[in-house]
Structure 1
Amino acid sequence: MTLRTFLLGACSALAFAGMASAETLTIATVNNGDMIRMQKLTDDFKAKNPGIDLEWVTLEENVLRQKVTTDIATKGGQYDVLTIGTYEVPIWAKQGWLVPLDNLGANYDVDDLLPAIRSGLTMDGKLYAAPFYGESSMVMYRKDLFDAAGLKMPDAPTWDFIADAARKITNKDKEVYGICLRGKAGWGENMAFLTAMSNSFGARWFDENWKPQFDQPEWKDTLDFYVKLMKDAGPPGASSNGFNENLALFQTGKCGMWIDATVAASFVSNPKESTVADKVGFALAPDKGLGKRGNWLWAWSLAIPAGSQKAEAAEKFVAWATSKDYTNLVAEKDGWLNAPPGTRASLYANAEYQKAAPFAKMTIDSINSADPSKPTVKPVPYVGVQFVAIPEFQGIGTAIGQQFSAALAGQLSVDQALQSAQQLATREMTKAGYIK
């Protein structure tokens, strides 16, 4: 072998070793504003971890859920980091599908995570996902439209007040609609909203023996109220609108009220993104006087599937994206208003954040008031506020969401949608062995 051949071979081996040492993490995430911001800030992560590259798969909410569920259930190994929610984490951890997060680093401060959020991501004392942002739901409304109509929003409104106000501030000639609510079918889209709403009406998914309850008057009251309100005071095409579509409507001045995730508060209050930023007020989610408000509890969190071959690198990314340092990075680049909310006690003790975010107290009060272990007025055998924490819920919830979306679109009557929901849920729960 000549010296030249030897040197060329050595250089090739070194180059190959260099290539092999650079790991590329594939991260599946949802196309929400906070996740888009995270992608723009990842130069900070790469500078601190030069051996790790990132590849993003950014998907609409329903599509993301479908793809990551299929991948993890079939052990496809397509992703190294998953963006998943409070519903999936305990179910998937129990199946052995997620890697426990034992090495988030000495400075991570797990004890700073809000107890309500942390408990939903923990099983047997171990954290299986780290919360990127946490949320409940609340009312966002246009103060100028309320003033013009001679209305004053209570801090804790009733559904009857909301409905009356929505009809009064609607001006369809000017394309201003009194209320925007989710109508797009999906267990995490319209059914997240409608399940939380139904809790406040006294409804429940199942009784103590897992018998579906869509044939009961409380669900009829909920769906009747929702469909009539949206027909009178909602935007056209509401059955296609989810979180992002309603956000766009509110930001462009077409919604008088929007009841949705507390995380949206920073987007509607940001003058760079919202034409009504200086006119927005906030209130707790409505109730019917039965002791439960229509607010949910959720965290979009980052988890590592057990099928990943790059778990160590993935955990470094998860630690970076959900750390106090990341919160400070967002504040430095985009202002405290845009700090990811709802995960850490330290954020809500931060005077700068409180000053920048007029919705901070309403958000933390909403998160703390949601009780996944007692979500309904009547007793239930399940945990979860806007979902039922059983594996079958994903399929059942989406199928029923399609029926309720069709009722909103006028393709089915409320009675027909509820009858279909009862039949669907009974069939699936019987097949799964919950009821005989």
Structure 2
Amino acid sequence: MKLKTLLLGACSAVVLCGFANAETLTIATVNNGDMIRMQKLTDDFTSKNPDIQLDWVTLEENVLRQRVTTDIATKGGQYDILTIGTYEVPIWAKQGWLLPLDNLGADYDVNDLLPAIRSGLTGEDGKLYAAPFYGESSMVMYRKDLFEKAGLSMPEAPTWDFIADAARKITDKDKEIYGICLRGKAGWGENMAFLTATANAFGARWFDENWRPQFDQPEWKNTLDFYVKLMNDAGPPGASSNGFNENLALFQTGKCGMWIDATVAASFVTDPKASTVADKVGFALAPDTGLGKRGNWLWAWNLAIPAGTQKQAAAEKFIAWATGKDYLKLVAEKDGWANVPPGTRTSLYENPEYLKAAPFAKMTLDSINAADPKSPAVKPVPYVGVQFVAIPEFQGLGTAVGQQFSAALAGQTSVDDALAAAQQLTTREMTKAGYIK
């Protein structure tokens, strides 16, 4: 009996010891639907890795960006895994703030990552510094029933003039149906992601070849005038507070006739469990103005490891799990192929089950492949990036300009005054940073 008690005591000690020695990974992530789903599925990871526990810090997009940027720049060490975008990865890798992902496992298949997405996450040394959780471009999502009722037919490649005309025609404010929902919430990755990509199609650019800001040029005036007038005529009330998640909720509840935003939203607007218009949604390419550039961006939300972590091996295990092929199969088993994170792997777009379940798959892939970060604008530019400018200063500049443009949308300032303020603050910062000689 004593021997049995001793053995049980030893076993308990081992279990307690194992639990006490478990590494806890603190993961900072964004409150988007795909990340929320990932958190619900992490039992699959922890059951295979009982020595690793997970602590989630889930934040709204603008807050996440602010917190992780502050933490990594000050070497705060709060997080072991960061959810960051295509903008941050090359800049932070160059600063030495991220660890290369050298040990994702023999079956990870790095070469299966879509070239357009992978290239943005690869450092100057040829190493991968973040793994894509999902990739996206942007496109038009629209209500086929409202178009039919108005006698309209959406082209596969619409112009902005067609979009604006259609938005006004399908608006019925008495029934709380707004012709178009577009981002208005201030932020370099919120309204400025949309407006920078849109401005490309209007012939505008952030800077000329000598890094001089271009907000005093007619192309930006045309862009912002068009956007504000369209939203005043056919947009929802309070649009200056709406970002990705707010517009998603409006579209899912039948209040938007069109929504131009991230391709990743397609699975949420066509999910009958979440969307009241799931069976009525059509898709088209992001609009153009006939100048040769469409307003489709290129982005990925990625998992990366900050250089300050002491838990690199455990962090790489988690990243390999969350961004690997088996995770896609896991989501498919639980929620169906249409809901797997899109835009990261070539094999997904060769999978007949996915192509059958996801009517938006081809449009997503075509949009991702059509984006050209090295030549985003009609005129030459000195920067890389479609909906952002890949320089460290852009995070602050984009948010400051975004606040001016959001105020113009809200009617708190005029379009002309917002552009003048954008020109002034951008010129000041670029001169201070040494870009303008």
Q: Which residue of 1 aligns with 2:32?
A: 32
Q: Which residue of 1 aligns with 2:21?
A: 21
Pairwise CA distance, 1:150: 0.2
Q: Which residue of 2 aligns with 1:358?
A: 359
Deviations along 1:356-383, one digit per CA (max 9) or x if unpaired, are 0000000000000001000001000000
Secondary structure of 2:344's counterpart equals: coil
Q: Which residue of 1 aligns with 2:215?
A: 214
Pairwise CA distance, 1:38: 0.1
Pairwise CA distance, 1:316: 0.3
Identity score, percent: 86
Secondary structure of 2:158's counterpart equals: coil
Secondary structure of 1:38's counterpart equals: helix
Q: Which residue of 1 aligns with 2:157?
A: 156
| Separation in 1, partners of 2:111, 2:14 | 43
Q: Aligned-pair RMSD on alpha carbons?
A: 1.5
Letter in 2 for 1:199: N
| Separation in 2, partners of 1:351, 1:206 | 43
Alignment of 1:17-416 (within 5 A): 17-123=17-123, 124-416=125-417
Q: Give unpaired runs (5+ residues) of structure 2.
A: 1-6
Letter in 1 for 2:272: P
Secondary structure of 1:293's counterpart equals: coil
| Separation in 2, partners of 1:10, 1:432 | 63
Q: Which residue of 2 aligns with 1:429?
A: 430
Q: Which residue of 2 aligns with 1:4?
A: none
Letter in 1 for 2:185: K
Q: Which residue of 1 aligns with 2:3?
A: none
Secondary structure of 1:275's counterpart equals: coil
Give the number of aligned pairs: 430
Letter in 1 for 2:429: E
Pairwise CA distance, 1:48: 1.0
| Separation in 2, partners of 1:18, 1:76 | 28
Pairwise CA distance, 1:132: 0.1
| Separation in 2, partners of 1:271, 1:12 | 47
Partners of 2:18 and 2:51 within 8 A in 1? no
| Separation in 2, partners of 1:143, 1:353 | 23
Letter in 1 for 2:105: G
| Separation in 2, partners of 1:13, 1:43 | 24
Pairwise CA distance, 1:244: 0.2
Q: Report the CA distance shift for 1:11/1:250 in structure 2 as closer, same or farther (over 3 A).
A: closer
Partners of 2:287 and 2:294 within 8 A in 1? yes
| Separation in 2, partners of 1:260, 1:278 | 19
Secondary structure of 1:100's counterpart equals: coil
Q: Give unpaired runs (5+ residues) of structure 1.
A: 1-6
| Separation in 1, partners of 2:436, 2:15 | 61
Deviations along 1:154-193, one digit per CA (max 9) or x if unpaired, are 0000000000000000000000000000000000000000
Q: Report the CA distance shift for 1:157/1:12 in structure 2 as closer, same or farther (over 3 A).
A: closer
Letter in 1 for 2:148: D
Partners of 2:142 and 2:259 within 8 A in 1? yes
Deviations along 1:205-263, one digit per CA (max 9) or x if unpaired, are 00000000000000000000000000000000000000000000000000000000000
| Separation in 1, partners of 2:205, 2:416 | 17
Partners of 2:140 and 2:261 within 8 A in 1? yes
Letter in 2 for 1:95: Q
Pairwise CA distance, 1:286: 0.1
Normalised by the length of structure 1, the TM-score is 0.97
Q: Report the CA distance shift for 1:16/1:253 in structure 2 as closer, same or farther (over 3 A).
A: closer
Q: Report the CA distance shift for 1:158/1:329 in structure 2 as closer, same or farther (over 3 A).
A: same
| Separation in 2, partners of 1:263, 1:18 | 39
Letter in 2 for 1:275: T
| Separation in 1, partners of 2:246, 2:427 | 32
Pairwise CA distance, 1:12: 11
Letter in 2 for 1:44: D
| Separation in 2, partners of 1:10, 1:291 | 72
Secondary structure of 1:372's counterpart equals: coil
Pairwise CA distance, 1:21: 2.4
Q: Report the CA distance shift for 1:49/1:15 in structure 2 as closer, same or farther (over 3 A).
A: closer
Q: Report the CA distance shift for 1:22/1:239 in structure 2 as closer, same or farther (over 3 A).
A: same
Deviations along 1:312-351, one digit per CA (max 9) or x if unpaired, are 1000000000000000000000000101000000000000
| Separation in 2, partners of 1:232, 1:143 | 21
Q: Which residue of 2 aligns with 1:3?
A: none
Deviations along 1:136-168, one digit per CA (max 9) or x if unpaired, are 000000000000000000000000000000000
